[in-house]
Amino acid sequence: MATKVGKAEGNHHEAPIVPETAAAADPGKIVIIGGGIGGLSCGCYLQMNGFQTEIIEAGALPGGLCTAWRRGPYVFDGCLRWLIGTHPSSAFYQMWQELGAIAGREILTYDDILLVEGAHGKTLAVPADLDKLSREFKHIAPEDTALIDQLVRAARRCASLEPPLDNPVELMTLFEKMRMGLRYLWMVPIILKWKNPTLPTYLARYRNDFLRETLLAMAGNERMSALVLVMMLAFRTRQDSGFVAGGSWAFAEAIAGRYVRLGGTVRYKTRVVSIKVEHDRATGVQCADGAVVPASTVVSCADGYTTIFKMLDGRFVNKKILFLYQRCDLFPALIQVSLGINQAFTDAPHTLSLPLLRPLIVDDQTRHTRMEVETFGSDSALCPEGKTIMTVRLPSRCEFWTHLRKNNRQRYRAEKRAIIREVIRVLDIRFPGLAQHLERSDIATPATFVRYTGNWQGSYEGWLPTPRILGRRIPCTLPGLAGFFMAGHWVVAGGGLPSAALSGRYAAQTICARDGKMFATSEP
Ligand SMILES: Cc1cc2nc3c(=O)[nH]c(=O)nc-3n(C[C@H](O)[C@H](O)[C@H](O)COP(=O)(O)OP(=O)(O)OC[C@H]3O[C@@H](n4cnc5c(N)ncnc54)[C@H](O)[C@@H]3O)c2cc1C
């Protein structure tokens, strides 16, 4: 059976034809598992559309991975560095407006993407502007001019790319899909050319070592598709990304506030252990404290692996889902070292990639020869005037840290101290006086991220955009299970705050369509 409804006005969008898989007449509440950005977004949009929802969140605060922690006068940010959608012309900006996420706070944007320092005193400030970037790259690597031109050309073409906000692809009519296909037709040659080579394959074509090192430092992970480099340059050149003053805390709390004002409720410190299923329909959730919360629909915005294989015992899977969870790569787990320094470093670049003369060993297998340092001054609203925060993030093996924390707490602490000491030693050489003025230091390991957010293998952004996964649609429903949806970074390859929030919006749109409702949005 299908439902079709007519055209609406204002912020309403025409609801497409969708199979009616749920009891549209059931007025029961929708339970959302997880109060990260995906869950909060889904909750906001469902509330905007007249649904009664409740978010059940294991932690004590909203935001999930989008979080921060206070140490004395310093707020150490565990997430936000750059947010896509800070320019009013972009589709993501519209979404952040609807969610009240930026709430008038200042956006810090930078002319440079990062400063890369080489082993022999070479430096390169990588401009966000593609014309300037092209000039700088050719200046240091004239022998790679042809490759630089190709890269810049591809990035320039992708700079206007916007996600479809009107409807997720699954809800589009054939006509809408064809229209979208035509709109993005020009992308096909770019995808064909850039998707399949991994970064090392692509970068091997460059003759200049320092440029190769720079491009890898910019992309951050060598298992990714070369297309990621193109997209990253495309997003950065259009000045549509920046740091929102107040950081992750202010950002998450703003959306959580919007959700509550829209009439939603959040049950904190409550872990969902299983999803109740009757006759292949989700009917509620069972919490660790024994409570059973009935629901007309369940949306899981918690970790994908836990949802599918633990909360639902792996009963609703197909080849596509098994392929994802058995064969696809994840963003790695991270160690984050945060330092609070009682001194302003006004000349420090906001993002610096430093070579390490002595490799930094962060677990039983991983050694780093570069380190990326983020610097936040008082303009970030994370520390007072005259003070600085520096953070260093280092990919590390999750299992090493979770095992150590569980089985040998003393060694776990000793390993953490050793890494902090080494980071301070390196940074004190680069920023003389840092160690002397250091007031606070802190380290979060992959075990910390797992403990606080439950993300599978400590992944900080879900699926890594490798050639294997790019271009695949990750389903937000499970085969054979009605009344159930997923949102958050586990249903979007490439993760990140905009993707998590957009997937929450898409889930709300899908539920509206299912129930024959016009999807409506509003702004605070
Ligand atoms: C160090 C770091 C830096 C990052 N930098 C950026 C950046 O600069 N820009 C950007 O766009 N993105 C960045 N990201 C990625 C971004 O934070 C994530 O992709 C995004 O926040 C994911 O949101 P989510 O809602 O999908 O998942 P999560 O944030 O993981 O939220 C899931 C929520 O579900 C809860 N939960 C889990 N299990 C249960 C359960 N059983 N019962 C109840 N609740 C449960 C968790 O507590 C959590 O609150 C960064 C991430 C990290 C870690």
Distance 2 CA to ligand 1 centre (A): 35
Q: List pLDDT tens digits, range 432-481.
A: 999 999 999 999 999 999 999 999 999 999 999 999 999 888 989 999 99
Place of tokens 């470093």: 345
Instruction: Give the fold, CATH level 3, of 2-65+249-328+462-514.
Output: FAD/NAD(P)-binding domain (3.50.50)
The CA–CA distances, whole Å, from 48 to 127, 222, 259, 282 equal 40, 41, 9, 23
pLDDT band per the 50, 70, 90 thresholds, residue 27 = low
pLDDT band per the 50, 70, 90 thresholds, residue 5 = very low
- For ligand 1, say whether the CB of 489 is within 6 Å of any of its atoms: yes
Q: List pLDDT tens digits, range 70-118.
A: 999 999 999 999 999 998 888 899 999 999 999 889 999 999 999 999 9
In the chain, the percentage of residues whose pLDDT exceeds 90 is 82
Q: Whose CA is nearest to atom 49 of ligand 1?
A: 64
Query: Packing angle between helix 130-140 and helix 209-219, nearest 10 degrees?
Result: 140
Q: Is the pLDDT of residue 186 over 50?
A: yes
Distance 436 CA to ligand 1 centre (A): 34
Question: Quick one: which H or E segment has residue 509?
Answer: helix 497-514
- Total Cβ atoms within 10 A of residue 301: 32
Pairwise CA distance, residues 305 & 320, whole Å: 14
- For ligand 1, say whether the CB of 454 is within 6 Å of any of its atoms: yes
Instruction: Give the fold, CATH level 3, of 332-456.
Output: Guanine Nucleotide Dissociation Inhibitor; domain 2 (3.30.519)
pLDDT band per the 50, 70, 90 thresholds, residue 8 = very low
Distance 370 CA to ligand 1 centre (A): 25
Q: Which atom of ligand 1 is nearest to the CA of 287?
A: 42
β-strand pairing of 107-108 with 265-267:
unpaired
The residue extents of the domains of the chain are 2-65+249-328+462-514, 127-238, 332-456
- For ligand 1, say whether the CB of 80 is within 6 Å of any of its atoms: yes
Mean of all residue pLDDT scores within the chain: 92
Pairwise CA distance, residues 301 & 321, whole Å: 16
| Three-state secondary structure of 162-225 | CCCCCCCHHHCCHHHHHHHHHHCCCHHHHHHHHCCCEHHHHHCCCCCHHHHHHHHHHHCCCCCE
For the question of whether the overall pTM of this predicted structure is more than 0.75, the answer is yes
- For ligand 1, say whether the CB of 332 is within 6 Å of any of its atoms: no
**Could you tell me which residues come within 8 angstroms of residue 411 by beta carbon, excluding any fewer than 6 positions away?**
404
pLDDT band per the 50, 70, 90 thresholds, residue 235 = confident
User: Which comes out higher in pLDDT, residue 21 or 79?
Assistant: 79
**Could you tell me which residues come within 8 angstroms of residue 315 by beta carbon, excluding any fewer than 6 positions away?**
277
Two tokens, residue 238: 């259009």
Q: Whose CA is nearest to atom 48 of ligand 1?
A: 64
Find the length of the chain. Answer: 524
- For ligand 1, say whether the CB of 350 is within 6 Å of any of its atoms: no
